[in-house]
Copies of this chain bind each other. A is one copy, B any other.
Amino acid sequence: MNSPRPRVTIRDVADRVGVHPSTVSRVLNPATRGRITSEIVKKVLSAADELGYRPNQTAQGLRTNRSRTVGVLIPDITNPLFPPIIRGVEDALAEGGYTAVLGNTDNLAERERDAVATMRARQVDGLILATARKDDPIVADCVSDGLPVVLVNRSSDVPGVSSVVNDDAMGIAQAVSHLKGLGHSRIAHIAGPQTLSTGEVRRRSFYDAMACEGLVAEDDLVAETTAFSEDEGLRAAADLIASGREFTAIVASNDLLALGAYEAIDDAGLACPGDMSVTGFNDMPFVDRVAPPLTTIRIPQYEMGREAARRLIQLMETPYSPARATTLRPELIVRGSTARVRNVNLAANRN
């Protein structure tokens, strides 16, 4: 039953046609095909076809030192933000003849380091990282070793590295402006980890946007978290509510945090959006189906992945192409988690 089936090599094809293996190699390579008599080309091609020849990528890789493989590192594939990005990456890579090997890091520096080491041992031609920290030695190492790298979703302080990220400032501004339009003035922010570019930039942008709208962002109404997770969102929102400070809306740094906030609001016996409006960030799949449907900032996830992959291909194929930071425009998606502020004072209800 199990027939290991002897692999057909370039030599088999050569023998069949009666030419030298190198000739076959040249025929098979579109770039050198022109140097061979068209008659032979035809014979070689049909022989290869008949024999079912498939180039051995391993051998090619060894000789050319290119694996046509790229490593893709993400925090956690289980976070709905990433699958669309990954699809974008894979689709664009496939178009360029590359394949992706995936690694989950759970946002652990150690696993990240391991994963990069594994990928490099596998001779990946480049790396796409959705895991970058603001100050990331791993990124720095790759860059200084000349390994093509593109950051996606998060950027980094490391100089000279290309990135494809969302315009966080604009997104947050849209959220704040939307809330102000609904009459909210006391707005809280659940910030993401400040070691991540997204967490930090969005937090800063929150202060900026508030000022820009003529509102005051109180430090006491800005809660920090250690991870972009529902648990942390729940904790932060619960703290905010428990503090007794008065506010009618929460701008969360991402959708997962917002979902956590939902729980805290519910636990406190309040209603969203009746008592408390909430905005998210990312427009992950399915946040339109939760209760209430989440008002959030949509970022072009798939496109972001595609663009990152395209950029990487460029980097890999034309060395020394300059690093570029691309910013994609986000869009406010208004759903059911935000509503006009009530006349009744929230604090009055609670005190």
Binding site for B on A (CB under 8 A): 1-5, 54-59, 61-62, 67, 69, 76-78, 80, 83-84, 86-87, 90, 99-104, 117-118, 120-123, 144-146, 160, 259, 285-286, 289-292, 319-320
Tell me which of B59, B146, B285 contacts A4 (CB under 8 A): B146
Tell me which of B90, B144, B145, B146 contacts A102 (CB under 8 A): B90
| Copies of this chain, count | 2
In the complex, A80→B290 CA distance in Å? 15
Tell me which of B69, B122, B289, B319 contacts A290 (CB under 8 A): B289
Are A57 and B100 neighbours in the complex by a CB distance under 8 Å?
no
Interchain residue pairs with CB less than 8 A apart (17): A1-B144, A57-B122, A58-B122, A58-B123, A69-B122, A77-B83, A78-B285, A80-B80, A83-B83, A99-B101, A99-B122, A101-B101, A101-B102, A102-B102, A286-B289, A289-B290, A290-B290
Are A104 and B121 neighbours in the complex by a CB distance under 8 Å?
no
Question: Which chain B residues lie closer than 8 Å to A118 at the CB level?
Answer: 99
Are B320 and A2 neighbours in the complex by a CB distance under 8 Å?
yes
Are B83 and A78 neighbours in the complex by a CB distance under 8 Å?
yes
Closest residue on chain B to residue A284 by CB atoms? B286
When A80-B285, A289-B259, A291-B291 are in contact, do A54 and B145 touch as well, CB less than 8 Å? no
Minimum CB–CB distance for A288 against chain B, Å: 10
